[in-house]
Amino acid sequence: MPLRGELREPGDLYYLDLEELQSLLRTGKADRPKIERRRVEYRRFARLTPPRLMFSDGEVPEPDRRDGLPAGALTGLGVSVGIVEGRARVVRSLGEVIMEKGDILVTAFTDPSRTPVFVSISGLVTEVGGMMTHGAVITREYGLPAVVGVADATRLIHDGDRIRLDGEMGFVQILLN
């Protein structure tokens, strides 16, 4: 069955379920409106920001406010103790990772594919995470300070900012923009 023109972009097949893909291979026809509708939905969902924390019943608790923190501090969960100051390297995708010794990695989350970067960094800030997430475990293993669950960290901290992070108290402070 010729499929020419049915899949207009290489990623079109990702918008089909298994049954639809099998039908496409059998008939040579794809439901173009369905593919386009799903592409639009995917783009809409990709722009959503998940809450920092959500309980199993769907409740999204308000972030805790702590006394004694520096003015303007961004709060999170300190998961690996230590205090470090350095240049923020805001990374939104793995392809962007260009770190220099001593940089502080600021990202939405980490996963095992980013582990080699931890050799160069001096600290970690993530938007999501908890005590047992990848970044928290690896920073403890490497002895690096880390704060996770910092809401909007990749938006509020700019690449190149000088920041201080306190992995015990659980906050990040922007020192110089």
Is 134 an annotated catalytic residue? Answer: yes
Q: Token digits for 78?
A: 């300190």
Q: What is the DSSP letter of 64?
A: P
For residue 6, the number of C-alpha atoms closer than 13 Å in the C-beta half-sphere is: 18
Beta strands in the chain (DSSP E): 74-75, 77-80, 83-91, 104-107, 123-126, 146-148, 162-166, 171-176
Terminal alpha carbon distance of the chain:
58
Q: Which of 134, 140, 151, 173 is catalytic?
A: 134
Torsion angle, CA of 160/166/171/177, rounded to 10 degrees?
-20
Residue owning tokens 């040579």: 28
Q: Token digits for 90?
A: 């805001």
Strand 162-166 with 83-91, pairing = antiparallel
- What are the residue numbers of the active site? 134
